[in-house]
Structure 1
Amino acid sequence: MTSISETVAPADVHAAPKAKVRNASLDRARTFLTLVVLLHHSVIPYTYFGHTDPKYFVGFDMIVLATDSFFMAMFFFLSGLFVWPGLGRKSPGVFLRERLLRLGLPFAVAAFTVIPLAYYALALQAHQDTTFAAFWVKMVTVGPWPSGPLWFVWVLLAFDLTASVLYRISPTLLDPINKLSVRCHDRPADFFLFLLIVTAALYVPARVYFGPNHWFELGGPFSVQASRILFYAAYFFIGAGIGAANFDRGLLAADGQLAKSGWGWVGLTLIPYVLLWGLIYIKREILGNPPVQPHWYEASYGLFFACFSAAILFAILAYFLRFKQSGWSILDPMQPAAYGMFLVHYPIALWLEYWLFDASLPAVLKAAIVFVLTVALSWGATEALRRLPGAKHVL
């Protein structure tokens, strides 16, 4: 029997970009990830190992370990999927203008408003006796000026601009990835191995060298985790390669094997996840939780981290490709507001946690209140902002 990879001529890989069509399964996956971000920030104060609230629950450590190990990489992957066709349809000037409007403007506005509002709640919780005006001036003039979760926005803008330059140099640059995606229509495990090898090769040495906590501080609110920057770039450009052409015949095809997968990918995620917890136990109970870990520890952690991230990416994609391609989903009403919710949710979550700090409630109940209200309020705030003239072009 002739395989699909044998029926696609090499010249067909770099097909002319088609008009952008909404993909319900990927839209829903992106909205789901936004909710995962909100959940992540809703439970962090109540974790056992890093709680800042008097109440804690070890189950939240399990959530945070999982979410921190994949969700930003998957955001970069999904963001990269439609970059290459967009570059083919638009002139460099139009592409740059749209990216600055969609990413640069929200980042600039949020850096001066959303971020100071969020961190002022932390300052009050730390009993810093200061007015918001004084706190704001000190943050933007003296620093530190953290970006919170908004670092993703400026890094994504940097990746988009890099992709624009690379596309002008060679529109066929990502064709090898696209060819592999087409060949993996019926063999998604092959692409999984490719993704794992590339991302582990970039992440493990960086983690050993920089450690897990070092950030590149580029001035102002521009910072990014040193060990993960190449890891995220790999997810972005691999996603761009998949989306470069033949999207309906490659790895993410509606009739592909990934869309027909069962629980195998979910089972695969459990192996590296359990191994990560094993390393955490070794660090805390055997090594004595030293501030700097041995190289073998960081290398092992980096490998399991990369494996978990790739496996859960495939598990989530398989679920949404199989069950969420058509019909109605509870995620659909939220989809237009998902980006805005990501931008505005952080101060909402931190202020809710600040107000609940002294409440004599179980950690699970506190986290549930924070999550539900953060979703509702950030959604409502985004919908209100989207009613402003021109705001829908940004949010």
Structure 2
Amino acid sequence: MRVYFLDRIRIVLTILVIAHHSAITYGASGGWFLRLVDDKSTSSLVLTLLAAVNQAFFMGFFFLISGYLTPSSHDRKGWLDFTRDRLIRLGLPTLFFGFVIGPLTVAITRTRSWDFASEWFGIMAQGRFVIGPMWFAYALLVFSLAYVAWRKLVPVKPAPRKPIPGHRTWILAALGVGAAALIIRQFVPVGEEVLDLQLGYFASHVFLFALGCIAERYGWLTEVKRKHAMPWVIVAAVAIPLLPIALVVGEQIGQTNFATGFSFPAVFYAFWEPVVAWGIIAGMLWIFHLRFNEQDKRWGGLARQTYGAFIVHPPVIVTIAILLESIPAPALVKFLLLTALGTLASFALAWAIRKIPFVKLAV
């Protein structure tokens, strides 16, 4: 049975991806194709906090939902068809983005004009692979294949329903993920990549995908209630404004590196992320299941475009941002404009592309 509220959440998360990259464009900390603002203004600090909150939960939430949908898809299709489907749905779009759309985005960024074709063709002729945000599909393909191997080694037996674990387990999970992230970041600091993946964030990604696979057996994502979510929503609301305070404290004591090491900012950031993630994820699961778990053609139509919008949004928002350069408006206003226009254009383009024969099979 389709879980409609998860479709609504995927739409919101896709919009947040577009907002995240729009924020980086106008001053937030992070890596992206185009940065038009690079200062320490108040707007940049606000957008950096927004990006940090997003980073704490939104891609992990995608992995949680993907993990939740994986066991039933595997069982329904069988391991061979499931593997073939994952290679088509995740592998082919990643390759197409890497060799075509990624170079297109780089070409538009470099030329900042409509005369980008020669630059684009030149990058493609070099065989350059630009993974961009498709690292998510790449990582999800690896996770999916790992799940297939796991099921081969450890057959899953039918199990009775179990209640959602208590808050003590949630606390231990947050501590475990934070500790794992801190350890990983000693070898791969935040912002650095290994095989096109920022492994510094993967402690939560791996945990949430695995949790999703386990949660599917017991229907946990549909069982999150106020008693589960509200305490963590409150904790997250308290924790979010503490991040900039922690960074200021770090500066006062001469510790500013949050990407690696065991400085105060690095330790705080590692454990701050899962606390914020648990609160936002639990709150969204509770509210969306309570309010939006019904079939609706309009929402269903948007949900079908989320993957396509995710794939095409980089060249879309880069182009729109360049067009907005001449408008004399504050960075925060341009961020809102870029997010809104980028969302509309990305979903519309995804809808148009899915009309092409055979494309629907992949996106």
**Fold-level similarity (TM above 0.5):** yes
RMSD of the alignment, in Å?
2.9
Structure 1 stretches lacking a partner, 5+ long? 1-20
Deviation string, structure 1 residues 13-70 (Cα, Å, up to 9, x no partner): xxxxxxxx21011111111111111111122222366763379624322311211111
Residue 281 (structure 1) shift? 1.8
Q: Which has the higher helix share?
A: 2
Q: Is the 8 A contact 1:334 1:379 kept in 2?
A: yes
SS in structure 1 at match of 2:327: coil
- Using the alignment, how far apart are the partners of 1:373 and 1:96 within structure 2? 36
Question: How far apart, CA to CA, are the structure 2 residues paired with 1:233 and 1:379?
Answer: 28
SS in 2 for 1:90: helix
> How far is the alpha carbon of 1:87 from its aligned partner?
2.0
CA change 1:228–1:136 in 2 (3 A) is farther
SS in 1 for 2:155: coil
Residues 1:283 and 1:80: Cα distance change in structure 2 (over 3 Å): same
1:212 maps to: 190
Q: How does 1:2-17 map to 2 (within 5 A)?
A: none
SS in 2 for 1:212: coil
2:136 maps to a residue whose letter is F
Shift of 1:71: 0.7
Structure-2 separation of matches of 1:340 and 1:151: 15
Partners of 1:210 and 1:138 in 2: how far apart?
28
How many residue pairs match? The answer is: 354
By how many angstroms is 1:391 displaced?
A: 2.3
Is the CA contact 2:255–2:263 (under 8 Å) kept in the aligned structure 1?
no
Alignment partner, residue 208 of structure 2: 235
- Relative distance call for 1:259 and 1:350 in structure 2 (3 A) is same
Q: Bigger radius of gyration, 1 or 2?
A: 1
* 1:341 and 2:309 aligned: yes
Taking structure 2 as the reference length, what is the TM-score of the superposition? 0.86
Verify the 8 A CA contact 1:203 1:306 in the aligned structure 2.
no
CA separation of 1:302/1:208 partners in 2, compared to 1, >3 Å: closer, same or farther? farther
Identify the match of residue 47 of structure 1 among 5, 11, 27. 27
Aligned pair 1:303/2:271, yes or no? yes
Question: Which position in structure 2 is the counterpart of 1:246?
Answer: 218
Decide which of 15, 30, 47 is 1:35's aligned counterpart.
15
Q: What is the TM-score normalised by the length of structure 1?
A: 0.80
**1:1-395 alignment runs, 5 A limit:** 21-47=1-27, 52-53=36-37, 57=43, 58-124=45-111, 132-134=117-119, 136-138=121-123, 141=126, 145-172=129-156, 182-184=162-164, 189-216=167-194, 218=195, 223-243=196-216, 245-247=217-219, 251-253=220-222, 256=223, 258=225, 263-287=230-254, 289=256, 294-297=261-264, 298-326=266-294, 328=296, 331-395=299-363
Contact 2:67 2:210 in 1 (8 A): yes
Identity of aligned residues (%): 22
Amino acid at match of 1:164: V
Distance change in 2, residues 1:166/1:23 (3 Å): same
Q: 1:204 to 1:133 in 2, by over 3 A?
A: same
- Paired letter, 1:246: Y
Kindly state the Cα deviation for residue 282 of structure 1 after the two structures are TM-superposed. Answer: 2.9
CA distance in 1, matches of 2:170, 2:258: 33
Determine helix, strand or coil for the equivalent of 1:79: helix
Distance 1:353 1:103 in 2: 28
The code of the aligned residue for 1:150 comes to: M
